[in-house]
Structure 1
Amino acid sequence: MNFNRILSRNKEEERFYYLQEHTPDNLATSLLQWIPRFKQNVIILCIGTDRSTGDALGPLVGTFLCEQKPSSLSVYGTLDHPVHAKNIHEHLTTIQQNHFNPFIIAVDACLGKYSSIGTIIAGQGSLRPGAAVKKDLPEVGNVFISGVVNISGYMEYFVLQSTRLSIVMNMAKKIACSLKQVDDRLTNRRYTKKHKKSAR
């Protein structure tokens, strides 16, 4: 859980409202622009915990995405195996050990203005998980996806616990759908590249 304040200043950033019909398509298009062409090790790092409704966005995205069996993306962080404050260092070490030069898309919930609730923010650069609840965790991600699930500024722990599951679930489904589109397009890119090479 981070504040609606991204660390990557002066970088490209896009905002999408989760109820808009074309949000998954538009989000996928933006993400693909930021992923280096033919990048082999693309990691989806879904941060959060199922012990808090507001902070469950990341694990839900990971779970929904894994159910679609992506072939070109490696997913860390699900409801069964969440990535949270107590184990994020361990998971980052595992990613570095198991994936050469990984490109990480970090997914996390965030708090923001009332008018921003339901907004999915994506952009280049890192985010700082745990910032909304005063936790000192490492900056993560080459690209971020951050979903505004509730308002910031007062009793953040209570706000997270009282966040409506409906909005978190629906935002997670849209983000997972978008990431599956990214997976499909990356897989198609690699298939096309492979067959071009074999045809020479």
Structure 2
Amino acid sequence: MAIREQGPGGQKRKMDAGGLTAFFREIRELHTPDEVTFLCVGTDRSTGDSLGPLTGSRLLEYGFPHVIGTLPSPCDANNLTNRIDEIPLEHVVIAIDACLGPYAAVGCYFVSMEPLHPAKSVGLVLPAVGHYSLAAVVDANGPKPYRTLQTTPLHRVMGMAGTIAAAAAAGFGISR
């Protein structure tokens, strides 16, 4: 889980669900699904932080061949370093994580052609991950991020995970 806001240099692009397909299409123009690993960061033990494993499970349902971080096998702060080692060196990584942000950005997505910094908002120092990143603003940032994540509506997180997976499938030209 990371806090994401649009950077001053425009490196992170804020978008709604409609823009995600175009983001994945940009990646597809450079890389095939066989060359891409989705690294979906999060845990199934917190509603707000379950976006990663929910998204990873949905990506597998669409048939993406390389997904790390699913409901049965999450990629979280405790195992992130080991899970990164599973990624073939020649693969391009798309890192996906939940984040907290400004109230007006809840339900939006921040995408970037640069790595994601997981767990930054809760004070953990983890390695930056991904060649591309997508952070979904699941709730508003506040003084108690752990509590916020525990009380984030599951319906919102599930909807956002479904939107990300569907956009990835559409962008890569994959249908069920």
TM-score by length of 2: 0.90
Identify the match of residue 44 of structure 2 among 41, 45, 50. Answer: 50
- Is the CA contact (8 Å cut-off) linking 2:142 and 2:148 kept in structure 1? no
CA distance in 1, matches of 2:123, 2:167: 30
4+ long deviations beyond 4 Å? none
Question: Pairwise mapping of residues 15-34 of structure 1 onto structure 2 (< 5 A)?
Answer: 15-18=14-17, 23=18, 26-34=19-27
CA distance in 2, matches of 1:42, 1:102: 5
Q: Number of aligned pairs?
A: 174
Question: Pairwise mapping of residues 142-157 of structure 1 onto structure 2 (< 5 A)?
Answer: 142-157=131-146
Identify the match of residue 68 of structure 2 among 61, 76, 80. Answer: 76
- Is the CA contact (8 Å cut-off) linking 1:44 and 1:74 kept in structure 2? yes
For residues 43-69 of structure 1, what are the alpha-carbon distances to aligned partners after superposition, in whole Å with 9 as ceiling and x for unaligned? 110000010000000110001111122
Aligned to 2:79: 87
CA distance in 1, matches of 2:99, 2:53: 14
Identify the match of residue 125 of structure 2 among 136, 147, 151. Answer: 136
Which structure has the larger Rg over C-alpha atoms?
1
- Cα distance change, pair 115–48 in 1 and its aligned pair in 2 (3 A): same
Question: Pairwise mapping of residues 97-116 of structure 1 onto structure 2 (< 5 A)?
Answer: 99-116=88-105
CA distance in 2, matches of 1:57, 1:135: 18
Q: State the percentage of identical aligned residues.
A: 33
TM-score by length of 1: 0.79
- Is the CA contact (8 Å cut-off) linking 1:123 and 1:143 kept in structure 2? yes
Give secondary structure in 2 for the equivalent of 1:153: coil
Identify the match of residue 116 of structure 2 among 119, 127, 130. Answer: 127
Give secondary structure in 1 for the equivalent of 2:15: strand
Aligned-pair RMSD on alpha carbons? 2.1
Partner amino acid, structure 1, of 2:43:
T
Which ranges in structure 1 are unaligned for 5 or more consecutive residues?
A: 188-200
- Cα distance change, pair 45–12 in 1 and its aligned pair in 2 (3 A): same
Give secondary structure in 2 for the equivalent of 1:157: helix
Which ranges in structure 2 are unaligned for 5 or more consecutive residues?
A: none
Q: Which range is displaced more, 28-37 or 173-182?
A: 28-37
Deviation at residue 153 of structure 1 after TM alignment? 3.1
Partner amino acid, structure 2, of 1:74:
H
